[in-house]
Structure 1
Amino acid sequence: MSEGSDAYDASRIQVLEGREAVRKRPGMYVGATGERGLRQLVFEAADRAVNEVLAGRASRVDVTLMPDGGVCVTDDGPGVPIDQAEGGGPALEALLTRMGFGSGAGGRHDVTLGFCGVGPIVVNALSSRLTAEVQRDGVRWVQEYVRGVAVTPLTEAGPATGTGTTLTFWPDAGIFTTSEFSFGALADRFRELAFLNRDLEISLTDRRCPPESVSVRFRSPNGARDFVAFLDGRTASPGDPGIIGFEWEDPQMAGAVEVALRWRDTDEERVQGFANSRPTDGGTHERGFRDGVAAAVNTYARKRRLLAVTEPDLDADRIGVGLTAVVSVKLDAPEFHGAMRGVLGNAAVRACVDQGVRDHLGTWLEGHPERAAAVIDRIVHGAHRH
């Protein structure tokens, strides 16, 4: 290779940081520049607020789609600190301009809503305008940004009427190919989060077509049981006899498990897995669940002589016919595989979920002999006899 203008040295390596990196490669941070990317902006903005509720510092999150194309995300927590952050500048400004600042401690109690969990800096960088408002210690503070850069200092704007943080942003039309958010897709994810986190209350309001507005509120005191009922298209009551549910902690996998399931008169299997409230496309928790259900069902069927001695064990495919289930694990140190980090890989989780499901479902079968016999009969003979 000839020397001179074609030489490859350090001067040819471009280093981008913060907002510049996000604006140069938006797909790396929100996945796409179409509607899916817009949706991820909302999730990144809501991420911190949701975790404030789960940490017990706030009671609710409200998300509003506004008539002018903006999105407002509000929580009633103590408000983002406005004092000086490490490295200089107010903590609020650091949250909106520095990578990784304000990220949670991680582990089972944190939820990641966004594409990669970077947080508000992504929202700020990819918005043509953003307004941050903090109510804290009796004072209301406001700061304005344009394309990720502060255009006003953090300013006192009068007395506070409560506490909390509000981020209002307008996605940059120069980056995104659409300005239309999918209300339904946003509602689906927020509903899912409420099912998986009983302490969470979150509302979504659509004011884009005044004077009409649509608002939904999600809260799920019955957790995964409500989720199974929703998937089956019906409303569950706390004592719904058709849904089997249990939860437990397991130190061997450094986490907790919540499972709910029900067999229906259909040939369809519908098992949904989640790890730290992230939807999964398989993994050790789902394999452990199937192993545990098969073991519990076969053990009970053999003990009660509901299977002929000469018949083989019921396999997972037969047991899964008509099964609706939600399998949610929350781990201190989750390990995800795959390009989209959608497959849980923690090795210990499979054996722990297997044993837990085996024990809890086995106990339920023993305690409900009539219903257990109906479940086994349905599995043995199939949902429909052709």
Structure 2
Amino acid sequence: MTALTAALHDPEDYSARHLSVLEGLEAVRKRPGMYIGSTDSRGLTHCMWEIVDNSVDEALAGYCTRIDVVLYADGSVEVRDNGRGIPVDAEPKSGVAGVELVMTKLHAGGKFGSGSYMASGGLHGVGASVVNALSARLDVEIDRQGHTHAMSFRRGLPGRFDAPGPDAAFTPQSGIERVRRVAKKVTGTRIRFWPDRKIFLKEADIARDSLLDRARQTAFLIPGLTIAVRDERADGEEPYEEEFRFDGGISEFCAYLAPDEAVNDVVRMQGSGNFTETVPVLDDNGHMTPTDVERHLEVDVALRWGTGYDTTVRSFVNVIATPKGGTHVSGFERAMTQVVNDQLRNTKLLKANDDPVTKEDVLEGLTAVVTVRLPEPQFEGQTKEILGTSAATRIVSQVVRKELRNFLTSTRRNEKQQARTVLEKVVNAARARLAARQQRETQRRKNALESSALPAKLVDCRNEGLDRSELFIVEGDSALGTAKLARDSEFQALLPIRGKILNVQKSSVADMLKNAECAAILQVIGAGSGRTFDLDNARYGRVILMADADVDGAHIRCLLLTLFYRYMRPMLEAGRVYAAVPPLHRVELTNVGKKKRGAKPEDRYIYTYSDAELQRTLLELEKKGLSWKEPVQRYKGLGEMDADQLAETTMDPRHRTLRRIRVEHAEEAASVFGLLMGNEVAPRREFIANGAQELDLNRIDT
């Protein structure tokens, strides 16, 4: 029995000797999740950005114009910048070199006062030291004062390695050394670290795409800053390199993020405000004294409305993304809703007895970038996902209210017309929301027996439980007849659609609701549409798209998935939408009874799902000495199958194959849907022309 176990059994024996005190960086290694969130790829990526953000802070302060990020084949990461360089002189109180202090002490850095950085992303002073603690090896080089200064660390402990790599022999040793001379004007910092695989999972890795996205994002947010990415991890391939530099600021960023055609030009809203904050300040006696400090907050917002319906709002504090928003986003949304409502009343687009438009109406089709800069922002947690500085709400709201009102009331011909179009779009969004809500309230049913408004062509099932119930959306009435005989009426419902439904990607909500096929699907699923969609009210546990195994069937599936993605996305996100996989060919064996004793009648048939699979199957049969009936039957549609064939291959849960449709990467999916199904013809034509060179002509279904 251990001492702690004994203490649990004997309360009198529990004393101070049972307590543990974690010294220095030991706490980081003991509880890494507290500092970086996790020890998987997400945590490893967070470590890299802790180092990059320090270089970005130099750029924010005006001292850095280039940052290089290199991913090496051995799993290490290097970040270089041409900023001022981490201080190498001795810190007065501790007598330790500034770089060693930053790398080995939690809450040590230049972000706590106002002398070094007026606005920075790293503010807790733990970023570099945490990365150091979680690294098997970390090398730092600083160009400063005409020399290159170097230090190395192993799991947070300073010392010297006698060879490259983290496995080299290590000698603990404090202090920094000069390794070579450089020009006095040359400054900068280079940090390379090898993640400690005793801490991080073996499969933890940095995804190149997410690195490129954030590097591009940061280059947008700091005009004039160049960020270069080099990935040397691909064996046998040339290193991947990409460089980002944008001089247009967040106006260019907003235009880049926008997924649709613009309704108005990008509106830039800038301003600032002051507030007083009470913070503990270290006095001359070494005591923390609550002190009122005057803060300055700068606001910079870019926005534009588009013809689409999705909302994209990206928010940042000192260039650090706040994906979960915070007080600055709250102030932005509050001001937007208030100003638009006021202007709608003034222009009589909203009558006196009309309900005000909501935040969702105002933000529909909006793309916006909201940035604020201030010293020592208050974040919720080290991962900095939510801004907590309360004064940001008021200041951002004031700036947006003033600038947006100027745009909406502008007398310039072009701006006046754009403002009118924006207001009309918001009103139409409100009307569509009310129409959708009314439809949901009138069409939702609690069970099949209570519903008298369901489409007559729906062939419902007896089981109402979500665990088993399935809705097959079937292409064509001919396939419906066969499917009725093939289904299990206990839990499988059928809804036929005629031909190709409306392309909702480039249609309005009103047009979608007028379309008989789209309206029937929404009505049968019974959970509403768009923002009012309630997954808990869906009448079926699964929705299965069952179309022919040809080009037209693929097109119909694409149109149906567009409908689900635009208006019933929670169904996709929950993994409750599937595509049936019907066969394309049926091979009928003629001599299976002679070659195989006890052969059953169903053993005479082999189903294949592609031309390539058919060719492979025929070759295998030929090798086995089995013959088949010529010609091989090729299904032109589901209606050609007998009920037992359709059940066996496509509908019977014991034999069928289903392909689950998921939306793992919503932004990429939205981009593809917009490209293939949207109003813009030119990008689609370019996509088809470029893809034609890579198309295998033998795969064309003719």
With the length of structure 1 as denominator, give the TM-score of the two structures.
Answer: 0.88
The alpha-carbon distance between structure 1 residues 135 and 85, as it changes in their structure 2 partners (threshold 3 A), is same
The alpha-carbon distance between structure 1 residues 351 and 263, as it changes in their structure 2 partners (threshold 3 A), is same
Which one has the largest radius of gyration? 2
Shift of 1:233: 4.4
Q: Is the 8 A contact 2:261 2:306 kept in 1?
A: no
Does residue 157 of structure 1 match 2:179? yes
SS at match of 1:40: helix
Which of the pair is proportionally richer in helix? 2
Q: Is the 8 A contact 1:54 1:199 kept in 2?
A: no
Rounded Cα–Cα distance in structure 2 between residues aligned with 1:80 and 1:343: 28
| One-letter identity of the residue aligned with 2:233 | R
Does residue 350 of structure 1 match 2:393? yes
SS at match of 1:151: strand
User: Which of the residues 289, 293, 297 maps onto 1:255?
Assistant: 297
Range 73-82 or range 279-288, more displaced: 279-288
Does residue 266 of structure 1 match 2:308? yes
1:1-386 superposed matches below 5 A = 7-86=13-92, 87-105=94-112, 109-112=119-122, 118-152=126-160, 153-160=175-182, 162-177=186-201, 178-198=203-223, 200-209=225-234, 211-233=237-259, 242-252=265-275, 254-276=296-318, 277-337=320-380, 342-367=385-410, 368-382=415-429, 384-386=509-511
Rounded Cα–Cα distance in structure 1 between residues aligned with 2:21 and 2:381: 27
SS at match of 1:69: coil
Q: Is the 8 A contact 1:294 1:319 kept in 2?
A: yes
Rounded Cα–Cα distance in structure 2 between residues aligned with 1:355 and 1:316: 17
Shift of 1:360: 0.6
Shift of 1:32: 0.9
SS at match of 1:32: coil
Range 5-14 or range 62-71, more displaced: 5-14
Q: Is the 8 A contact 2:264 2:306 kept in 1?
A: no
Rounded Cα–Cα distance in structure 2 between residues aligned with 1:106 and 1:257: 21
Q: Is the 8 A contact 2:106 2:125 kept in 1?
A: no
Shift of 1:136: 1.6
SS at match of 1:268: coil
The alpha-carbon distance between structure 1 residues 228 and 160, as it changes in their structure 2 partners (threshold 3 A), is same
SS at match of 1:73: strand
The alpha-carbon distance between structure 1 residues 71 and 201, as it changes in their structure 2 partners (threshold 3 A), is same
Rounded Cα–Cα distance in structure 2 between residues aligned with 1:165 and 1:283: 32
Q: Is the 8 A contact 1:245 1:259 kept in 2?
A: yes
The alpha-carbon distance between structure 1 residues 346 and 165, as it changes in their structure 2 partners (threshold 3 A), is closer
Shift of 1:301: 2.8
Q: Deviations over 1:67-107 (max 9, x none)?
A: 22111111112322222223123222222111122241367
| One-letter identity of the residue aligned with 2:302 | A
With the length of structure 2 as denominator, give the TM-score of the two structures.
Answer: 0.50
Q: Deviations over 1:32-73 (max 9, x none)?
A: 111011111111222322212211222222111012211111
Q: Is the 8 A contact 2:41 2:204 kept in 1?
A: yes
Rounded Cα–Cα distance in structure 2 between residues aligned with 1:143 and 1:356: 46
SS at match of 1:261: strand
Q: Is the 8 A contact 2:45 2:205 kept in 1?
A: no
Rounded Cα–Cα distance in structure 2 between residues aligned with 1:241 and 1:376: 11
Rounded Cα–Cα distance in structure 2 between residues aligned with 1:104 and 1:282: 22
| One-letter identity of the residue aligned with 2:418 | R
SS at match of 1:344: coil
| One-letter identity of the residue aligned with 2:129 | I
Rounded Cα–Cα distance in structure 2 between residues aligned with 1:235 and 1:304: 25
SS at match of 1:312: coil
Shift of 1:202: 2.2
Rounded Cα–Cα distance in structure 1 between residues aligned with 2:387 and 2:418: 33
Range 61-70 or range 269-278, more displaced: 269-278
Q: Is the 8 A contact 2:260 2:306 kept in 1?
A: no
SS at match of 1:257: strand
Range 344-353 or range 178-187, more displaced: 344-353
Shift of 1:220: 3.4
When the two chains are superposed, the root-mean-square deviation of aligned CA atoms in Å is 2.9
| One-letter identity of the residue aligned with 1:28 | M
Q: Where in structure 2 are there 5+ consecutive unaligned residues?
A: 1-6, 161-174, 277-295, 430-507, 512-702
SS at match of 2:340: helix
Q: Deviations over 1:351-377 (max 9, x none)?
A: 332232121111112222111111112
The alpha-carbon distance between structure 1 residues 163 and 284, as it changes in their structure 2 partners (threshold 3 A), is closer
Rounded Cα–Cα distance in structure 2 between residues aligned with 1:35 and 1:235: 36
Rounded Cα–Cα distance in structure 2 between residues aligned with 1:330 and 1:27: 28
The alpha-carbon distance between structure 1 residues 106 and 159, as it changes in their structure 2 partners (threshold 3 A), is same
Quote the residue 2:284 is aligned against. Answer: none
Q: Where in structure 1 are there 5+ consecutive unaligned residues?
A: none
The alpha-carbon distance between structure 1 residues 194 and 3, as it changes in their structure 2 partners (threshold 3 A), is same
Q: Deviations over 1:182-202 (max 9, x none)?
A: 112222233333333335432
The alpha-carbon distance between structure 1 residues 158 and 374, as it changes in their structure 2 partners (threshold 3 A), is same
SS at match of 1:271: strand
Q: Is the 8 A contact 1:67 1:207 kept in 2?
A: yes
Rounded Cα–Cα distance in structure 1 between residues aligned with 2:26 and 2:80: 27
Q: Is the 8 A contact 1:136 1:164 kept in 2?
A: yes
How many residue pairs get matched? 381
Rounded Cα–Cα distance in structure 1 between residues aligned with 2:131 and 2:149: 19
Shift of 1:166: 0.7
Rounded Cα–Cα distance in structure 1 between residues aligned with 2:390 and 2:76: 43
Rounded Cα–Cα distance in structure 2 between residues aligned with 1:89 and 1:345: 34
Greater RCO between the two (CA within 8 Å, min separation 6)?
1
Q: Deviations over 1:131-153 (max 9, x none)?
A: 11122222122222222222225
Range 189-198 or range 83-92, more displaced: 189-198
